Amino acid sequence: MARTRKITADEILDAAERVILRVGAAGISIDAVAQEAGISKSRVVYDHKSKSALLEALIDRRLNAEEQRVRASVQSNSDTSHPELFGRIAVAEKAPDDTDKAVCLAISAAVSSEEKLHDRMREWTRKDLADIGKGARPKAALIAYLALTGFCCTEYFNLYQWETESRLAILDSIREIYTTSPDET
């Protein structure tokens, strides 16, 4: 008698990312993820009740991983004039890979039609903005953060891929936005 294959929740989400990478956000389905993971559709449904819940779990995993990367980078930049900002800039030094871009596009597609997912992204953005506002010179930090966000969006939405040298020069310029902005009163 064949043994049932044991698979973790993370392996199901890994399979979902592979499906998104291969066929895009529109092609993700419970069936496609189950087939990719080599498990039954009922197992995916048991863990993630619906396609929306599967996408929500994928978004949560991605956001949690990003929050951990940012927290570690903020800690590594604790000796800078604005650790929250400079930590996020340091994270952006690594270009997103194809999976990062595909998942970002899938998240965007899901957010446009799923209010719960949209709320999750709004909350993440509110928290990010609050963290940026905590440090010295919050107005300069906000302007630099918005420049950083725009820069990152060009790559995550696969609109443009910066060469490494250009990437680092742009990120240095974003740091300069903060350091050279006039003092706030």
Q: What pTM does this model have? A: 0.83
∠ CA 20-113-41, nearest 5°, is 45
Residue range 20-71, pLDDT digits in tens:
888 877 778 899 999 999 998 999 888 888 888 888 888 888 889 999 999 9
Among 40-44, 67-71, 103-107, 170-174, which is the least confidently predicted range?
Answer: 103-107
Phi-psi region of 5 (alpha: psi -120 to 50; beta: other; left: phi over 0): beta
Is residue 152's pLDDT more than 90? yes
Question: What local confidence, expressed as pLDDT, does residue 110 receive?
Answer: 72
Question: What local confidence, expressed as pLDDT, does residue 184 receive?
Answer: 66
- Please give the single-letter amino acid code of residue 23: V
The class of domain 9-180 in CATH terms is: mainly alpha
Phi-psi region of 38 (alpha: psi -120 to 50; beta: other; left: phi over 0): left
pLDDT interval class at 2 (50, 70, 90): very low
